[in-house]
Amino acid sequence: MPGLTIGDTLPNLEVETTCGKFMLHDFVGQEWVIIFSHPGDFTPVCTTELAKVAAYTERFEERGVKLLGLSCGDIQSHNNWIKDIESYSGGCKVKFPIIADPKREIIKELNMVDPDEKDATGKQVPSRALHVVSGDKKIKLSIQYPATIGRNVDEILRVVDALQKTVNHKVATPVNWKPGEPVVIHPGVSNNQAKEMFPQGYSTAELPSGNDYLRFTNV
């Protein structure tokens, strides 16, 4: 689906949320932000997702990440729904704002529409879309799930850790990487440069090609 994606600038939209009105760029500031959409208030998968995000809020805060939800209900509906979310979460509070988008305008601007799902009135609903935005207001990562599949919040934490790791170092994260595991050195870094950048050392996998591009280090 064409629209907002990795590398694009987040539109500076004015949004109404459960924590008041603001411009998206003002909310981002110089920090990392995760904007994530939900097909609807008082729906089963959305309730489980938001309950888990509420439970993980401190983990995101430890990483300097702010959270911003979105659903197509209005503010009153959101506030009533939050009571259910907090109850299901075992008492974890929803401390982050949730955007109200009853006219379905913001989901189009943010490329968060599920083309295959409609609500009871026949209107399109949001996909389970997620954008990770950095302080330069650029989309650094974008994930789209259909409305019928719940997201894995542990995976969202993992990709945030990976993004922050690769922003701070000339590295990439290999398959199934988890925090604390070795990373690979960016192929644009020569061996001489790698010795300077990674004084702790690195190991090179021996491959049939004889090329030394697969270099692992810890940062």
Chain centroid to CA 43: 21
Q: What are the angstrom distances between the C-alpha of 77 and each of 17, 38, 53, 84? A: 11, 13, 19, 11
Joined tokens for residue 21: 């009105």
- In single-letter form, the type of residue at position 63 comes to R
Phi, psi angle pair for 203, to nearest 5°: -115, 150
Joined tokens for residue 108: 């189009």
Question: Is residue 166 within 8 Å of 34, Cβ to Cβ?
Answer: no
Q: What are the angstrom distances between the C-alpha of 150 and each of 108, 124, 146? A: 21, 18, 8
Question: Is residue 107 within 8 Å of 71, Cβ to Cβ?
Answer: no
How big is the chain, counted in residues?
219
Question: Is residue 16 within 8 Å of 99, Cβ to Cβ?
Answer: yes
Q: Is residue 72 annotated as part of the catalytic site, yes or no? A: no
Catalytic option among 19, 46, 72, 92: 46
Q: Which of 12, 26, 28, 6 is nearest to 106 (CA)?
A: 12
List active site positions.
46
